[in-house]
């Protein structure tokens, strides 16, 4: 956020000029119902709209870096004696293989040295960069155990002349290798095939590493296409492997899967009591008060979970969900209503139901038949829409939430998956008077019932993928809030089906998420400067200026132009008032300026030039899209066509294909509507 305050006054002065200069007739195609903000004319007296983050430092996990000099070298005068050491028989392991291949690649690119790889045979005499637990140094001896580090934590330790990179699992040992590459050679992946790395290294000091780093969220699931569809990006950015939850149908039924366990097509006629009133679009977890029928439901669900946990292909999975269907409803039958009355929330009946399921599964794991499948499992359910609120009471004296009854505390193997698209991710979770105020209170309530919280957050406008969504101001606060409530799993849903990349600074946004999910207290200003300087190089200042202007304006959009509130992630964002014409023109011109600034690489480094040009072009896509969508009638056909054509070329080059989260709304279709292609 460097310089953001400095530019506010200038920017707001400019915006007032834009607004005065752009009073235009309403464009019928761009108006949303209820919108009468025509032309951005209500910006007469703006005040500084940028609020500082207000949630202070929260208690995170250990990020302890003690690094001192040894006086020795890994690379000296362009030569190295070091080899990569891995455990015997693990060369094919996907995480070890990734660590090895990138250690080799980065040392080769940065210092032009080739590192030999040896498998541990117990006969070690050289100097090593050791990945994972080996006879040189066991994981236990340096405290790299799951008890101490969890699933994702790691140690980097110097022992004699050797560097040990080790976690409790191959995956976390790989994280250690990427962190070592960051410390030693400046490695950091910013975007597909684009990473920061030191160059022309002839001497690399051997440092005395004593590093313990544990991610603040044990599970960090990425959710944007450019990362998700690229396994190398997932690994290099230290995201958690996505294969962690068993689909109830062995295919894609991870979520909203209650009807997979108890399909209405099979049971609705014979067991109408199992389905909700009035619409039958959810389960009735009380079976309308019929205990025998309820027991039968519990038996079917637990039998299926036991069956899945017994399958060889899921032997490494600990998680499964029994999660409500994707609508805003829940059962309002007499028994469910009475339970809501008694416990204070619609979610109580789900906890009571799943606590019984979990007990059955747990008992089975303690039998001879189940012993071989025993694991520390979790059954997850959604706190989503009708079930977002927890059955708790607020104690005014202690200012804390307490269970409304002992039986609604989650079984140790049952945990809440907190997700609320009705929230507003342009706002934090702790301020009063926003659409998130209640969402934040609900999360605190769940903190009193569930040992761990699984948290599904949001960070894009799902109706308009090609426009920016301002979650930049709030994401750190929301993550800190979640960390305070013992959240151990986080997924921030972004443009998960948009392949290639993202406009609206979505590449930066998702890179930032990777850093904050590891360390919620990280310094965002420093991260932002680092990203812009390295991702845009010579165009950094110009692109940073564009980003800062957008951020200041976006805060004004939320505070004064109504881009906020209930379900802002679906907000009808194509409105003239939100995007004044001259402002879009200015922002496009800034991207044009930035594209000129990187032309110095056109001859000297054409590959780098192409990458940088793509980075800048990707950001121009949003503003060209808005200009054409809102102001087509204001331009000569020749100019308009050139804007559309540039948009088309840039979108194709960046690999973007979708206009929204609906698979049918493709850029190809948009271009044909625009008369291009
Ligand atoms: Zn019911």
Give pLDDT, residue 49.
42
| Whole-Å CA distances, 248 to 327, 380, 415 | 19, 12, 17
By the 8 A CB rule, do 115 and 149 touch? no
H or E element in which residue 582 lies? helix 581-597
Report CA dihedral (71, 75, 77, 79) to the nearest 10 degrees: 140
The widest CA-to-CA distance across the chain, in whole angstroms, is 81
Centroid of ligand 1 to alpha carbon of 14 (angstroms)? 57
In a 3-state reduction of DSSP, which class is residue 214? coil
76 shares its domain with 208: yes
Residues 193 and 134 in one domain: yes
Domain boundary pick from 186, 214, 242: 214
The answer to the question of residue 287 being in a domain is no
Query: Does residue 151 sit within a domain?
Result: yes
Tell whether 172 and 103 lie within a shared domain.
yes
Q: How confident is the model at residue 41 (pLDDT cuts 50, 70, 90)?
A: very low
Q: Which two tokens stand for residue 64?
A: 């302890």
- The last residue of one of the domains, among 214, 232, 260, is 214
Lowest mean pLDDT among 41-45, 403-407, 636-640: 41-45
Q: How far apart are CA 660 and CA 498, in angstroms?
A: 9
Please check the confidence at residue 16 and state whether its pLDDT lies above 80: no
- pLDDT per residue as tens digits for the range 175-218: 999 999 999 999 999 999 999 999 999 999 999 999 999 999 99
* Tens-place pLDDT, residues 600-644: 999 999 999 999 999 999 999 999 999 999 999 999 999 999 999
Predicted local distance difference test score (pLDDT) of residue 14: 46
pLDDT of residue 98: 98
Output b/e per residue, 647-661; b: 16+ Cβ within 10 A.
bbebbebbbbbbbbb
User: Alpha-carbon distance 433 to 437, whole Å?
Assistant: 6
Q: Is 282 left (phi over 0), alpha (psi -120 to 50) or beta?
A: beta
Tell me, yes or no, whether 76 and 51 share the same domain. no
Mean pLDDT across the chain? 92
> What pLDDT was estimated at residue 54?
62
Q: Is the pLDDT of residue 300 over 90?
A: yes
Answer yes or no: are the C-beta atoms of 65 and 208 closer than 8 Å: no
83 lies in the same domain as 21: no
CA of 146: how far to CAs of 65, 227, 252, in Å? Answer: 19, 27, 29
For residue 583, is it within any domain?
Answer: yes
Do the domain assignments include residue 579?
Answer: yes
Interval between CA 389 and ligand 1 midpoint (Å): 17
Report CA(305)–ligand 1 centroid distance (Å): 23
Best CA proximity match to 417, nearest among 332, 514, 351 = 351
Q: What is the b/e burial string over 29-64, where b = at least 16 CB atoms within 10 angstroms of the residue's CB?
A: ebbeeebebbbbeebeebeebbeeeebeeeebbebe
- How confident is the model over 77-92, as pLDDT tens digits? 999 999 999 999 999 9
How far is ligand 1, taken at its centre, from the CA of residue 337, in Å? 7
| Rounded alpha-carbon distances, angstroms, from residue 331 to 258, 335, 384, 416, 477 | 14, 9, 14, 19, 34
What's the gap in Å between 364 CA and the centre of ligand 1?
28
When divided into structural domains, the chain yields a total of: 2
46 and 68 part of one domain: no
Mean pLDDT, rounded, for 394-402: 94
Residue 107 domain-assigned (yes or no): yes
Evaluate if residue 37 carries a pLDDT over 60: no
Q: Does residue 248 lie in a domain region?
A: no
600 and 625 housed in the same domain: yes
pLDDT digits (tens, 9 = 90+) for 422-481: 889 999 998 888 999 999 999 999 999 998 999 999 999 999 999 999 999 999 999 999
CA of 626 to the centre of ligand 1 (A): 47
567: CA distance to ligand 1 center in Å? Answer: 27
What is the reported pTM?
0.90
Per-residue pLDDT tens over the stretch 501-558: 999 999 999 999 999 999 999 999 999 999 999 999 999 999 999 999 999 999 999 9
Strand partners, 119: 86
Q: Are 115 and 172 part of one and the same domain?
A: yes
Percent of the chain with pLDDT over 70: 92
Q: Which domain holds residue 636?
A: 4-56+543-673
Tell whether 393 is covered by a domain: no
Instruction: Compute the distance from residue 445 Cα to the ligand 1 centre, in Å.
Output: 23
Same domain, 628 and 645: yes
Span from the CA of 282 to the centroid of ligand 1 (angstroms): 9
Q: What is the mean pLDDT of residues 402-407?
A: 98
DSSP single-letter state for residue 275: B
CA of 350 to the centre of ligand 1 (A): 11
Q: Cα(326) to centroid of ligand 1, in Å?
A: 17
Same structural domain, 91 and 49 = no
For residues 70 and 130, state if they share a domain.
yes
Residue 312 lies in a domain: no
Nearest to 522 by CA among 301, 215, 115: 215
End residue of a domain, out of 214, 235, 258 = 214
C-alpha 538 – ligand 1 centre gap (Å): 62
What is the distance in A from the centroid of ligand 1 to the CA of 406? 21
Residues 548 and 628 reside in one and the same domain: yes
Per the CB < 8 A criterion, the answer to whether 197 and 50 are in contact is: no
How far is ligand 1, taken at its centre, from the CA of residue 276, in Å? 5
Residues 589, 590, 593, CA angle at the centre, nearest 5°? Answer: 85
Kindly state the tokens that stand for 95. Answer: 């995480």
CB contact at 8 A, 219 and 151: yes
- pLDDT tens profile 303-328: 999 999 999 999 989 999 999 999 99
Distance from Cα 451 to the centre of ligand 1, integer Å: 27
Give distance in angstroms: CA of 452 to centre of ligand 1.
27
């Amino acid at each position: 956020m460097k310089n953001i305050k400095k530019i506010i006054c200038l920017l707001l002065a400019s915006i007032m000029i834009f607004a005065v200069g752009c009073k235009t007739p309403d464009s019928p195609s761009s108006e949303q119902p209820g919108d009468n903000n025509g032309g951005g004319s209500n910006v007469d007296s703006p005040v500084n709209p940028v609020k500082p983050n207000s949630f202070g430092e929260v208690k995170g996990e250990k990020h302890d870096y003690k690094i001192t000099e040894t006086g020795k070298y890994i690379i000296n005068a362009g030569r190295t004696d070091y080899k990569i050491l891995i455990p015997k028989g693990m060369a094919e392991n996907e995480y070890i293989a990734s660590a090895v291949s990138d250690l080799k690649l980065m040392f080769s690119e940065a210092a032009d040295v080739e590192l030999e790889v040896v498998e541990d045979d117990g006969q070690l005499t050289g100097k090593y960069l050791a990945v994972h637990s080996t006879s040189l140094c066991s994981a236990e001896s340096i405290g790299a155990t799951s008890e101490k580090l969890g699933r994702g934590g790691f140690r980097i330790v110097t022992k004699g002349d050797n560097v040990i990179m080790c976690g409790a699992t191959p995956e976390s040992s790989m994280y250690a290798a990427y962190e070592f590459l960051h410390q030693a050679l400046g490695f950091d992946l910013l975007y597909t095939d684009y990473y920061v790395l030191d160059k022309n290294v002839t001497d690399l000091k051997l440092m005395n590493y004593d590093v313990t780093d544990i991610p603040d969220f044990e599970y960090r699931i990425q959710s944007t296409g450019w990362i998700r569809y690229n396994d190398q990006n997932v690994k290099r950015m230290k995201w958690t492997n996505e294969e962690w939850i068993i689909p109830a149908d062995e295919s894609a039924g991870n979520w909203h899967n209650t009807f997979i366990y108890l399909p209405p097509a099979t049971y609705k006629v014979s067991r109408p009591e199992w389905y909700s009133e009035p619409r039958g679009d959810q389960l009735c977890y009380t079976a309308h008060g019929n205990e025998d029928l309820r027991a039968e439901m519990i038996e079917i669900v637990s039998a299926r979970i036991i069956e899945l946990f017994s399958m060889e292909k899921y032997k490494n999975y600990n998680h499964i969900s029994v999660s409500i269907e994707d609508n805003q409803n829940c059962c309002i039958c007499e028994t469910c209503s009475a339970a809501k009355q008694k416990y204070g929330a619609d979610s109580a009946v789900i906890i009571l139901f799943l606590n019984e399921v979990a007990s059955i599964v747990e008992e089975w794991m303690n039998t001879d038949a189940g012993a071989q499948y025993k694991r520390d499992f979790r059954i997850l359910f959604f706190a989503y829409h009708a079930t977002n609120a927890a059955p708790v009471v607020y104690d005014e004296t202690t200012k804390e939430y307490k269970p409304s009854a002992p039986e609604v505390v989650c079984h140790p193997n049952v945990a809440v998956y907190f997700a609320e698209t009705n929230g507003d991710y342009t706002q934090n979770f702790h301020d009063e008077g926003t659409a998130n105020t209640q969402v934040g209170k609900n999360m605190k309530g769940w903190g009193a019932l569930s040992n761990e919280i699984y948290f599904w957050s949001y960070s894009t406008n799902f109706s308009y993928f090609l426009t920016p969504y301002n979650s930049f101001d709030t994401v750190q606060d929301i993550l800190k809030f979640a960390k305070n409530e013992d959240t151990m799993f986080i997924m921030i849903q972004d443009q998960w089906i948009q392949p290639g990349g993202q406009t609206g600074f979505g590449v930066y946004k998702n890179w930032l998420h990777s850093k904050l999910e590891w360390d919620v207290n990280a310094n965002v200003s420093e991260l932002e400067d680092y990203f812009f300087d390295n991702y845009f190089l010579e165009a950094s200042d110009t692109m940073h200026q564009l980003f800062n202007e957008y951020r200041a304006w976006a805060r004004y959009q939320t505070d004064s132009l109504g881009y906020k509130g209930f379900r802002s992630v679906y907000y009808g964002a194509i409105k003239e008032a939100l995007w004044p014409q001259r402002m879009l023109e200015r922002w496009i011109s800034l991207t044009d300026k930035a594209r000129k600034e990187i032309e110095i690489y056109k001859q000297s480094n054409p590959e780098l030039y192409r990458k940088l040009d793509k980075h800048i072009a990707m950001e121009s896509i949003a503003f060209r899209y808005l200009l054409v969508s809102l102001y087509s009638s204001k331009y000569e056909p020749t100019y308009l066509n050139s804007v559309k054509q540039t948009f088309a070329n840039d979108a194709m080059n960046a690999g973007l294909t979708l206009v929204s989260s609906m698979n049918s709304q493709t850029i190809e279709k948009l271009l044909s509507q625009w008369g291009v292609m």
